[in-house]
Structure 1
Amino acid sequence: MPEYRLNARKPKNSAGLPTAKRGELYLIHRQDIASMPAIDPKGVLCTGDIHLKPGRRVHILYLTPSTQKRNTSSEGDADSRGFKKKVTGNFPGDDLEIHQFIANNINEAFVIVMNSYDQVYQRMYGTKDNPLYFTGEFKDENDSKGYELTFEQNFADEHPVLFYNGAILIDESATEEPDVEFDTLYARKDGSNLTYDDVEKWTDLFAGEFFKADFFPISNQW
C-alpha cells in the first residue's frame, strides 16, 4: 500500500495540448552507467545525477519532433501491476550515419532522457535495471523514406516516468577529428615546426635561472 495519499488537481489551462518537442534524444547505453540517481519516496523525482563509467558519454539521436511518441501503459496481473515505457519516432532519410547507428545498436539496452513539457525537469525513460531495448524498421515508400525507431521496456516496473534535472555529459567531438592546429601549440620532436623566434624563446628558457646546472645540465652545443 502506498505510503503517500496525494492529490492531482486540475492542471494549468491548456496543459493537455501537445507541446513542441526538440528533435534530440539523449541516449545512455546501459553498460556505460556506473550508477543511477536515487528516487525520492514518492517514486518519480530523481535526486542526483546519472554517473557514467570513465570515458563514457551520452549520445544524441535525432527523431522528427512531430513523429515522437512517448507512451506509458500500466499492465500486469492483480497485485503485480506496473508501468511499461515506450518511445518511438522517425529518423528521416537513409544517410550512412543512421544505418551505422542501426547496425551497431540493434537490440541494445538504453536509458533515454528527453526534453520536458514543463521546462523544469527532463523526462527519463527506463533505468539501468529495466532499460528500453532498441529496434528499427526501414521504409522506402513513394512519399517518404526513413527509419521507424522503437525503444521499449521488456518488463513493467513501479515508475510511470522519472523526472530528472541532473547533469547530461555529452562529448559530440570525442570521435571526430579535432579542430585544432597542433603545430601552433606544440613543438615536434625534431623541432621542424619551430620558427627562429621559437628557438630563441626555448634557448632563453633552458638557459634561464629556473633550470640550474645541478638539476638540468645544458650542453654547450645547444
Structure 2
Amino acid sequence: MPSFTLTRTARITRITRTHKVATAVLVAAGATTALAVTAQPSTAQAAPAHAPAAVKPVSANGMPAAVQAKGDAPKAEHPAIESVAAQVKAKDAPKKAHTAKQATHRSAERKAEPKQYANNLDGWIREALDIMDAKGIPGSYDGLHRNIMRESSGNPNAVNDWDINAINGIPSKGLLQVIQPTFDTYHVAGTPDKLTDPVANITAAANYAADRYGSIDNVNSAY
C-alpha cells in the first residue's frame, strides 16, 4: 500500500512538472510569436520616419503648381501663336500706315481747297462777310442784304444815271451803288479791282460805311 501511494504521488509529481514545463514552453512560444507579430511592420502603417518626404513642385511666383494650374497665374502663350500674331501685325502695319497717310493727305487737300460760294446774291454776301471778317470790317448778313435790296434790288450791274453823281459823270454802280472814287479809296485787297464785281462792290461799300457810320448795319438810307 505505501509503495502504491508513493508511485502515484511520484507520477503526479512528474505530470505536474511536465505540465509546468510544457506550459512554460507554450508561454514562451506565444510571447515570441507576439513579439514577432509586433515587430513586423503592417502594410497599413506609414512609411518610416527617415524616408525622404515628397517635395511638391512650386511655380515661379512661389505658389504650388497645383494652384497655378487652376488659373491663379497667367499661362505662357504658345510660341507658335505668338509667331503668327507677330506675322499678322507685321503684315498689317504697311496697310495701316498707308491708310493713315491717305487720311492725312485728304485732310490736307480739304484744307487747301478754297471755300466755294454760290454765284448769286446769297453767295456774294457770304463771301464778302468772310473777307470782311478777315480784314476786321464790321457788318452782318442782314445789314448788307437790307441795303443791297434798297440800292439795287440785288442787280450787280445796276447804274444810277440820274442823281448828282451821274450829272457829275461819276454814276453810282453795283449792288451797293458805289461811285468810282469811293471804290478806289476803300477797295479791299484780295478782291477784284472792278467796281461792278459783286464781292468787290460789297466789301468796298462796307469798308466805307464802317469808316463813316461805324458799320453798314447803321445805314438805313442813301449814304
Q: Using structure 2 for the length normalisation, give the TM-score.
A: 0.18
Question: Which structure has the larger Rg over C-alpha atoms?
Answer: 2
Higher percent of residues as helix:
2
Higher percent of residues as strand:
1
Of the two structures, which has the highest relative contact order with CA contacts closer than 8 Å and spacing of 6 or more? 1
Q: Using structure 1 for the length normalisation, give the TM-score.
A: 0.18
